[in-house]
Amino acid sequence: MLFFSDKIFQNQNAADFQIGEYDSCSFVGCNFSNFNFHGASFENCTFRDCDLSNAKVSGVSFQQVKMERCKVLGVHFNSANPFLLEFNFQNCQLDYCNFFNLQLKKSIFQNCRLLEVDFSQTDLSGASFLGSDLSGTVFDRTNLEKADFREAIHYRLDPETNKVKGARFDLEGLPGLLGKWGIKIG
């Protein structure tokens, strides 16, 4: 298998990408939409201003991967290799992604748009959703202990079916917690 370390890949598309192991590499301005990454692994890598929409990630390893200003629509991360899976998303568009039943402790989703994302049965303890739009996002039997929802908007989660002990919320976020009971705030 090919091995790449400390390299910068700029303005590539799917035809340029080689399946292999990537360690401490950066991908800048790349278009990998609809690409099948099966067989690849990424460790300590950064994706900046990339399009990974509808990418296939079955069995792909993502260890300490950071994505900044990326468009990542409809990706089924629940099919990725779960071993040491860790993400840091900043200013990304993650609409319609699936993180079902993953261990994503302390993952970061900062200032992201996460429309209709599935976090059912996911361990997001200590995760940060600071400043993110969570419209239609599903939290069902999700561990959100010590998660940070400050400045997040449009989330709805049921404290009876999710673990929320120690989670942080703004006062403006109360409707997202109390909506189930029809309680009106303000």
DSSP code of residue 174:
H
Q: How far is CA 57 from CA 38, 44, 103, 113, 155, in A?
A: 6, 17, 16, 20, 27
- The residue ranges of every structural domain in the chain are 1-98, 124-186
- Residue 57 DSSP SS3: coil
Cβ burial, residue 183 (10 Å; 0-12/13-18/19+): exposed
Q: What is the pLDDT of residue 186?
A: 60
Each residue's pLDDT tens digit, 35-56: 999 999 999 999 999 999 999 9
Q: pTM of whole model > 0.85?
A: yes
The rounded distance, in Å, linking the Cα atoms of 163 and 52 is: 31
Top-tier CATH class for 1-98? mainly beta
List the beta bridge partners of residue 87.
65
Percent of the chain with pLDDT over 70: 92
Which SS3 state, helix, strand or coil, does residue 173 take?
A: helix
Number of helices (H) and strands (E) in the chain: give both, helices first: 1, 10
| pLDDT (mean) for 1-23 | 96
Mean pLDDT of the chain: 94
Quickly tell me which residue has 């099966």 as its tokens.
38
Q: What's the angle, vertex CA 96, arms to CA 91 and CA 99, rounded to 5?
A: 85
Tens of pLDDT along 52-95?
Answer: 999 999 999 999 999 999 999 999 999 999 999 999 999 999 99
Burial label, 171 (beta-carbon count in 10 A; 0-12, 13-18, 19+)? exposed
For the stretch 20-34, pLDDT in tens is 999 999 999 999 999
Total residue count of the chain as it appears in this document: 186
Q: How confident is the model at residue 111 (pLDDT cuts 50, 70, 90)?
A: very high
- Alpha helix (H) ranges present in the chain? 174-178
| Residue 82 structure tokens | 């779960």
Average pLDDT over residues 89-104: 98
pLDDT at res. 183: 55
Whether 11 has a pLDDT exceeding 90, the answer reads yes
Q: 153 or 185: which carries more pLDDT confidence?
A: 153
